[in-house]
Amino acid sequence: MTQQQPPWPSPRGNRWLILAILAFLHFADAAALPLLFSHIKPQINWTQPEMERWVIEEQPRSIQPHLEPLLHPNRSHNILAGDASDSEFLKRLVRQNQTASGRMLWNDVAGGDGLVYPPFVDQALKLFNLKQVAFEIENSLMSKVTCTACRAGTGMLQHQIQSGKTDTEIIRMITDYCTNLNIQSARVCQGVAQLFGSELIYVLKRVNLSPDELCSFVIGDGCADVYNPYHEWEVIFPPVPKPPRLADLPIPLEAAPFFKVLHISDTHYDPHYAEGSNAECNEPLCCRLSSGRPATPNAAAGKWGDYRKCDTPKRTVDHMLSHIAETHKDIDYILWTGDLPPHDVWNQTKEENLAIIKETVKQMVEMFPGVPIFPALGNHESAPVNSFPPPYVNQVDISISWLYDELDVQWRRWLPQSVTHTVRRGAFYSVLVRPGFRIISLNMNYCNNKNWWLLLNSTDPATELQWFIYELQSAEFSNEKVHVIGHIPPGHSDCLKVWSRNFYKIISRYESTVTAQFYGHTHYDEFEMFYDPQDLTHPNSIAYIGPSVSPYYDLNPGYRIYYVDGDHDSTTRLVIDHESWIMNLREANLYGYPIWYKLYTARAAYNMKALRPSDWNNLLNELASNQELFELYYKYYWKNSPARPTCDAECKKRLICDCKSGRSHDRKHFCAEVESKIDEESSKSWKSWFYKGLTNSYSLLSSITYLPKYLLGYR
């Protein structure tokens, strides 16, 4: 029997809109059906927007160390008194790299390339399985079923637009069919159609793409790889040779100073969570008074949260932060990788989301006074969810400035003034944390394939990646090591293939500079590997994907602690080790009080001598061949949730391949070898089981002194 695949509980606010569009097809005008798969593109009187002039080199940069190290009495490896001078420490670092210089990044900015950067339909309808499509869209597990549905739905929507239907008429039809086919409750259908319909229609009116091109753009390799010149682009690298790569990175010194770092992600705080409310409401988010009364006692929402589709109650967030402040008093800084609002994507407003951002920022300031916090923007902070127009979309009613301007105000509680311009432009920034150590926060919503605005022009939105290259090249010149933080992991299927491909090249070019990456979004406890694109035997970077605070869904709440190589002459700035902490939600609700505990420590649990990319790559190879080790990883991946499903061979291949693929929508390129190894091990296991069964049966028969003749073949 095929086992349930582990879901990706990352938010899918656009899911119900897509299903509603598909429902609309069942009642659509038959004469329009041949247009669904037509490759004839209508002429649209509209041109792609040009990138505005934004001179990266003229923007202010963080060049003064932002973090002042503290002496922790409980820590044996503090910075020595003689090393207290940042300037002396920086001089020693520079002396170790004689190539460091103050060269200009661009030889000639003005020269060279600039930075300005239908007979089939009846059969298709019969193949629609809306439940399967819903599951695949929600969990980012796309197949040909979803692809076919996307093409048909997109084609019909384009036809309705071209036939002169008004936005109001189209949205009303989508709402009616969504409700009549019981895809969702009436209020969810109406809310999603209103929130997302106008935006999607606005975009589709302005693009000249066929359904094949649109669906390939959104779904990726699950919907064929349709070449689309409008969405093919390359970043520009400066004419600076890549430093020679080392055979392997040095192992950090065990008795050296370190930084203790807290990583919090995907809080999804729900101010309307209600204990005892209905946790089985059949809507995208339950456990609210509006979810109705539970049909049975077992359907009631727990006091501290719930394993079903429910987000985090305030008491759980409060208790976790109090526990962290009391247990980890020596935290040096915090990584906060986004997704603060809940999953009620059908009725969110800008005002509500801003209120949650302000409230949670205020709480973090109060709980961790004086501790620097480095935030990254999640895909849920916008309203509607996943909607992040690039800077060239500057109309007052649809511009994203309402969010970015407020983020600048809130984040400035921790960040220097130099980040204001890039935060207000695109919610990304760069901060020098210590001499020779920088953190760069990226807005990963510009790689989000649920962000409809990228259909207009996906070419390096907000010039973020080109700015990223500038920051990394400047860091390389200054002999700085860099940690990258963001929300959506670049190898996740929610990240656009073209954006992810360019990002992968950047990491490869600056592998000697980027020593770690940190993301959230998936809600699981996992990681992603990066390799040299020209040599897949050479791992060059590791992305740590932190567990979610939200239990949404079937998960325990969790957070992570990292130990980062600190200030000393031989520092690598690598992650030395990390711990994952969780709260057992079932026991908390049963006994009325939560207990947070350390689930595991990476090096001890997986018997790793260090956490370099090569060490993680060795672990991946072991996971493929060692079933006992994989089951341990699977337990931690689910944060030891009692609600986790079993994992068959296909599930195992997908999870390990997810770890292997730091570049999205390119599984065939990275996963063939590991999938073959798993198939081979599965075959061995099956043969071993079959042989053992035969042996046991023979032994049993041999132990019986008398057998009836008919069992021996006699009549």
323 is in an annotated binding site: no
| 306 annotated as ligand-binding | no
DSSP string over 328-377: -TT--EEEE----S-S-TTS--HHHHHHHHHHHHHHHHHHSTT--EEE--
Rounded Cα gap, residues 496 and 376, in angstroms = 19
**Closest to 559 in 3D by CA, of 576, 542, 537, 582:** 582
Show the CA angle centred on residue 529, arms to residues 600 and 484, nearest 5°.
85
Residue 72, annotated ligand binder?
A: no
Which helix (H) or strand (E) segment holds residue 174: the answer is helix 167-180
Q: What SS3 string covers 623-647?
A: HHHCHHHHHHHHHHHCCCCCCCCCC
Distances (CA, A) of 204 to 17, 42, 160, 207: 14, 12, 11, 5
For residue 384, cis peptide bond before it (omega within 30 degrees of 0): yes
Angle at 265 between CA 263 and CA 267, to 5 degrees: 130
Q: Yes or no: say if 290 and 571 are a contact pair by the CB < 8 Å rule.
A: no
Can you read off the two tokens belonging to residue 621?
Answer: 């190879």
Q: Six-digit token pair at 397?
A: 């009613």
Angstrom distance (rounded) from CA 42 to CA 555: 47
Distance CA 55, CA 44 (A): 32
Which of 141, 114, 143, 104 is CA-nearest to residue 127? 143
Q: Rounded to whole angstroms, how far apart are CA atoms 270 and 356?
A: 9
C-alpha torsion sign, points 325, 328, 332, 334: negative
Q: Determine if residue 599 is left, alpha or beta; phi over 0 gives left, psi from -120 to 50 gives alpha, anything else beta.
A: alpha
Angle value at C-alpha 239, between 236 and 243, nearest 5 degrees:
110
Instruction: Say how far residue 10 (Cα) sits from the centre of its chain.
Output: 7
DSSP letter (8 states) at residue 50: P
Alpha-carbon span 455 to 463, nearest angstrom: 16
521 is in an annotated binding site: yes
272 in a labelled binding site: no
Q: Is 97 annotated to bind ligand? A: no
Give the helix/strand (H/E) hosting 602. Answer: helix 602-606
Residues 573 and 558: beta-carbon distance below 8 Å: no
CA angle in degrees (0–180, nearest 5) for 522-524-526: 100
Q: Give the single-character DSSP code of 231.
A: G
CA distance 529 to 617: 7
- Could you tell me the two tokens for 164? 């002169």
* Binding-site entries for Zn(2+): 266, 268, 339, 379, 487, 521, 523
* Binding-site entries: 266, 268, 339, 379, 487, 521, 523
